[in-house]
Chain A
Amino acid sequence: MTNSTLGEFSILAALVFCVWGFVNSALGGSRRDSRLAEVGRRAAIPTFLFATFALIVLEVALLTNDTSVNYVANHSASTSPLWVKIVSLWGALAGSILLWAWLLAGFLLLVSRIAKNDALRPYALATMFAVLTFFLGVNATVGSPFLEVPLPPLDGNGPNALLQNHWMMAVHPVLMYIGFVGLSVPFAYAVAAMLTGRLGETWLVQTRRWSIVAWGFLSAAIVAGGWWSYEVLGWGGYWAWDPVENASILPWFFTTAYLHSLQIQERRRILKGWNLGLIVAAFSSTVFGTFLTRSGIVQSVHSFSKSPIGPVFLGFFAVMLAITLYIAYKRLSLVRDDHSLDSPLSREGAFLAGNLLFSSFAFTVVLGTMFPVFYEAFTNKTTSVGAPFFNQVGIPIGLAILGLMAIGPALTWRRLEGVALRKTLTVPGILAVLTGIVALVLGIRDINVLFTLAFSSLAISVLFVVTGNAVRQRKQFEGGSSLKALSDLLNAYPRRYGAYITHFGVVVIAIGIAFSGAYKVERELAFRPGEMKTVLGHEVHYYSLVGEERPEKTIQAAKIEVDGKEFYPAQNYYGTQREAVSTPAIQYKVSGDFYMVLVNGDPKDQSVSLKFISSPLISWIWIGGLIVVIGAALTLIPAIVSEPKTVSSNVAAASD
C-alpha cells in the first residue's frame, strides 16, 4: 500500500471512530445510559490511535521524501536537514491541521481517561468528538495532505524559506496548537454544563487546570512567536499587528479574562453567563482566526495561500456559534445569577473592569484586522490599518490593564473598608509616584514609559506588601520564623503565589515593551570593505562578504566586528525561492540589544548596506515570558499544607 492510501485510510478510520464516539456519547448523555456513554468514551482510544497512525504515515513520507504524496511534493525537499523534514509536518496548512486534529484526539483521550465520571462527562466528550469530527473531516476532504500525485516529481518544492530559517519554528506552532486545543476542554465542559443545566461552578473547577495549561501554552507560543519574528524577519521588532498575530492574541485575551472572572464565580457564584461567553469566545476565536488567516480575505506574511479551507472554517465557526447561542438561549433562566455584585471597589469589581478591558482590546484587534475588508466591500477603496492604529488604542488599554493588575491583589472580595485599602496602598502608591519622578529626572519623557514604570513599581510593591502582611498574620497565628511562615504560605497557596509570579512576569514584559518601543533607534549605512564607522555608540568594522554553500541553501554573510567581537549578519537563499531571507546577527544584552541586518551585499565590489537597530530592554520580553509561564505552572501544583483554621479578613484579602 502506498503512503497516500495508508494515510487516507487512517484518517477515514479515525473519522469513523470519532463519529461513533460522538453518537454514543451524545446518546449516552441524553438517555442517561451509562453503557452507551462508556462505548462513546472508549471510542477515544481507536480515534487517537488512527490519528497517530496518520501522523506517522505523513512523517514517514516526509522523511523518505515520498513525492507521490502531494503534501511532500509541495512542501518538502530531499535536501532539507533532518529537523526541517520533521517539522515540515506543520510547515503548511494541511499538515498543521492534521497536527491540530492529532493533538485534539490526544486531549480527548486524556479527558476520557482522567475526567470525573459525572453527568457532564458524556456531553463534554460528545462536544470534543464533534469538534474533532470537523478537523478530521477537513483532513479527509479539502485539506487532505495525502492526495496522490499521479506523476511524482523527482524532488519536492521545499518548505517555506521563513520556516526553515530558524529552529524556533519547530516549537512555536506546536505550543500554539496545544494552547488552541487545550481550550477545547473548558469549552466542551461549558457546553456540557449548558446542556445539562448544571451551571454551577462544578464545570469551572473541573476545567480550571485545563484552562491554565492552555493559557500557559498560548502565552509561551505568543512570546516564542515574537522572538521568532525578531530573530528571522530582520526588522528588529517582534510584533507587527499582522493578521495572523492578531488571530493568535484573540484567544489569549479571552482566556486571560476568563481565568480571572472564573474566580468570581467560584467565590461568589455570580457571572455565570459572562464566564460561559468568555470561554466560548476564546475557543471560537481560535477557529475564527484560522479562517481569517487561511482564507486570503486578509493579507498576511504568514498566510500560506488561498484555499477552500478558509470558508470551511468560517462555516464551522458560524455553526458552532449558532448552536452554542441556541443552547445558551434555551438555558437563559438558569444562567441568571442568584445575587448581584457588591461594591465596585472589590476584587470582583477589579476583575470585572479587567474583563471589560480585555474584551475591548479583543474587539479593537478584530476591528482593526477586519476594517479594511468591510471598507473595501462598501466603498471599493483599498485601505490598510497599520500598527499606529493598534498602538494608539492598545497602549492606553494595556496601561489600564497594568494599573488594574497592580492594585488587584490589594483588594478584597465583596468590599473593602477604605481604611484597610489605604493602609495597603499607601507605601506602594508613594513608591509608584517616586518611581515616576525619578524616571522623569533621569530624562525619560515618554508618557507611556513613565506610566509603565509607575504602574510596575506599584504592582511589585503591592505584591510585597500583601505577601508581607500574610506572612505577619501567619506568624501571629502559627508562630515560627518569617521564613517558615513564607514557605508554609507558598505551599498552602500555590495558586495565589503562582499568580503573583505570573503578574511579576507581566511587569517585566511591560517594561520591555515600553522601552524597546519608545527608545528603539535605527540606522542604515553603506560600507566599503575595511571601512570603520561609529553607529549608535558602537564601533563597527566591516571586513568583507563571506559565503557558504549548503545543500539546501546559499549563505551570504557580511563579516563585521562590533566592539571587538565578530558578527555575521547574513542573507540565506533557499533552493527554489528567489527572495533572500535575512538572518540578523544580534548582540544580546539585558540592558538592550544591538541588532545587525545585512540589507544588501554586492559580490562584485564587496560593498554592503547594513541596518543597525538598538532596542533597549527588549530581551526583558522573552525573560518575562518565561517568568509568566513558570508562574502559570506553579498555580497547577496542588496545595500541600491545609489552610489554617483561623482566617481573618486580611488573610482572605490576599487569598486567590
Chain B
Amino acid sequence: MNPRSRNTWKYLLGLVIILGGVGFVLSSSLNTNLTFFITPSEYLADTAKYSDKTVRLGGVVQENSVTYNKQTLELRFVITDGTSKFPVSFTGTPPDLFKPGRGVTVEGKFVGSTFQGSQLLVKHSEEYRAPKPGEKLDYANITDKIKDSR
C-alpha cells in the first residue's frame, strides 16, 4: 500500500467512527425521547404503548375536581376528554390560566391509574370564554386547540 491510500483508509475509518457514533446516539435517543401527545381515551386504547413513557396528556380540567394545598403546593384534579378521565397529581403553583373547564396539557408519567405530572402547560388562547350553565363543552375542539402547545 502506498502512503496515500493508507491515509485514505484512515480517513474513511475516522469518518465511519464519527458518523456511526453520532448516528447511533441519534437514533437511540430519538426513540426514547419522543414525547407523544395523547388524550385519556387514547391512553386507554393503547395502555401498553404509553404506560412507562413520558407523555403529554391533554384534556379538560373537570369541574369541581380541583384541590390545591397552598402550603405544600400539592395540586390534584381530574383530566377528561368527555369519555375517559384520569386523576392528575402535580406539585407546584398552577398558572393563572389554569381553571376548571379549560384545556390543559400535563407532561408526566402514569403511576398506576394516576397521572404524575411534572409540567403543566395551559395554552394562552384568546378565544376562551366561560361556558354558560348547562352548556356542553366541545371536548374535541378544546383538545385540538391545546395539541398545538407542544
Task: State whether A382 and B7 are in contact (beta carbons under 8 Å apart), knowing that A367-B30, A392-B29, A396-B25 are contacts in the complex.
Answer: no
B18 near A580 with CB under 8 A, answer: no
In the complex, A580→B97 CA distance in Å? 10
Return the contact of A383 from the options B29, B34, B148 (Cβ within 8 A). B34
Interface residues of B in 126-150 (CB under 8 A from A): 147-150
Q: Is there an interface contact between B33 and A388, defined as CB atoms closer than 8 Å? A: yes
Residue A599 lies at the interface, judged by CB distance under 8 Å to chain B: yes
Which residue of B8, B18, B97 contacts A360 across the interface (Cβ within 8 Å)? B18
| Interfacial chain A residues near B148, Cβ < 8 Å | 299
Q: Which B1-49 residues have a C-beta within 8 angstroms of A? A: 4, 7-8, 10-11, 14-15, 18-19, 21-22, 25-26, 29-30, 33-37
Cβ–Cβ contact B30 & A579, under 8 A: no
B87 at the binding interface (Cβ < 8 Å)? no
- Asked if A392 meets B18 with Cβ closer than 8 Å, knowing A299-B150, A344-B7, A526-B70, the reply is no
CB of A376, distance to nearest CB on chain B (Å):
9
Kindly list chain B residues whose C-beta atoms are within 8 Å of the C-beta of A371: 30, 34
Say if the beta carbon of B96 comes within 8 Å of chain A. yes
Shortest beta-carbon distance from A599 to chain B in Å: 4
B93 engages A382 (CB within 8 Å) = no
Instruction: Determine if B29 and A389 form an interchain contact, defined as CB atoms under 8 angstroms apart.
Output: yes
In the complex, residue of chain B having the shortest beta-carbon distance to the beta carbon of A372: B150
Q: Which of A348-372 contact B (CB under 8 A)?
A: 349, 352-353, 356-357, 360, 363-364, 367-368, 371-372
Choose among A343, A383, A526, A607 the residue that contacts B35 (Cβ–Cβ < 8 A): A383
Partner of A524, one of B29, B34, B35, B73: B73
User: A383 and B36: CB pair below 8 A?
Assistant: yes
Contact of B11 among A341, A386, A579 (CB under 8 A): A341
A600 at the interface (CB under 8 A from B): yes
> A371, A392, A607 — which one has the most chain B CB atoms within 10 A of its CB?
A392
Instruction: Determine the chain B residues whose CB is within 8 A of the CB of A375 once the complex forms.
Output: 34
List residues of A (320-354) whose CB comes within 8 Å of B's CBs: 340-344, 349, 352-353
Which residues on B sit within 8 Å (CB–CB) of A353? 14, 18
Contact of A607 among B11, B33, B70, B96 (CB under 8 A): B70
CB within 8 Å for A393 and B26 given contacts A299-B149, A344-B11: yes
Q: Which residues of A have CB within 8 Å of B8?
A: 340
Select which of B4, B14, B71 is within 8 A of A340 by beta carbon.
B4
Within 8 A of B (CB), among A285-319: 299
Query: Which of chain A's residues 592-625 have a Cβ closer than 8 Å to chain B?
Result: 599-600, 607, 609
Can you report 8 residue pairs joining A to B where beta carbons are below 8 Å apart? A344-B7, A382-B150, A383-B36, A385-B30, A388-B29, A389-B33, A392-B29, A392-B33
